[in-house]
Amino acid sequence: MTDLAAAARALDGAPALEVLRWAAATYPRVALATSLGPEDGVLLDLIARHDLPIEVFTLDTGLLFDETRALWRALEARYQRSIRAVAPAQTVAAQAAEVGDALWARAPDACCARRKLAPLAAELARHDAWITAIRRDQTADRADAAVVEADRRFGLVKVNPLVAWTSAQVWQHLADHDVPTNPLHGRGYPSIGCAPCTSPVAAGEDPRSGRWRGRAKDECGLHQREAPPSGAAGRRLPVVDGVAAAGLRRPS
């Protein structure tokens, strides 16, 4: 069993490529979960150019911007690597039939639980480790993230090769290697998620203020830290159905 604390110390400050190579060599069942953001572009570029045996997937919520879908196709064409879609159990229409239209507007946590957390948990059950593109300076939940750590929420190892990078470093790498990016970044969208829950950001605003605008929410929940309940250590944790937990029913 890998000593994660020792690995985190050894890899702290290491180049992202070195961290990726370590992850590929240590965990045969490892995958990059890409949100198709700029940081993910850096990691995909490194994985593809160095032909690392790391699978790549993305959560297709059914609510992505058209520009995001176009970027998805462009990245696959550029790197000749498949970015596999991981989708929720229900289509957007089926979800609306069960709990009503626009769940994201009435209960965004519940919508994220259904369309992101549940499919991610099912996908990660196939892996021993997952690679993310989070950076410490993005949100409070990410501020103390280690380059390698135990993901207690999903029950596997989490590898964060860009955790100490700055936004400037990310964009410099993208420019240096001509990595395709989302045109929405040039239209005032520094952080891009599902179309209904993402809005442009004004000058001087926090880069993530356009996500779930007007709500006390800046994370979909994928990277929130949760300890397992008592007695659950070492077991993969279920994701609670946010709609049921919120007591939501289809409006009459």
Packing angle of the helix pair 38-49, 66-79 (nearest 10 deg): 20
Q: Where are the beta strands (DSSP E) in 77-205?
A: 84-86, 129-131, 148-151, 156-159
Number of residues in the chain = 252
Give the span between the Cα atoms of 88 and 62, in whole angstroms: 8
Q: With beta carbons less than 8 A apart as the criterion, state whether 54 and 82 touch.
A: no
Strand order in the sheet with 129-131: 84-86, 55-59, 30-33, 129-131, 156-159, 148-151
Q: Is 220 a catalytic residue?
A: yes
Which H, E and C letters describe 57-84, residue by residue? EEECCCCECHHHHHHHHHHHHHHCCCCE
Q: Which of 111, 194, 197, 220 is catalytic?
A: 220
Beta-carbon contacts of residue 210 (< 8 Å; ≥ 6 apart): 188, 189, 190, 191, 198, 199, 200, 201
Sign, CA dihedral 213-223-120-130, equals positive
Give the span between the Cα atoms of 158 and 156, in whole angstroms: 7
Q: With beta carbons less than 8 A apart as the criterion, state whether 241 and 114 touch.
A: yes
DSSP 30: E
Active-site residue set = 220
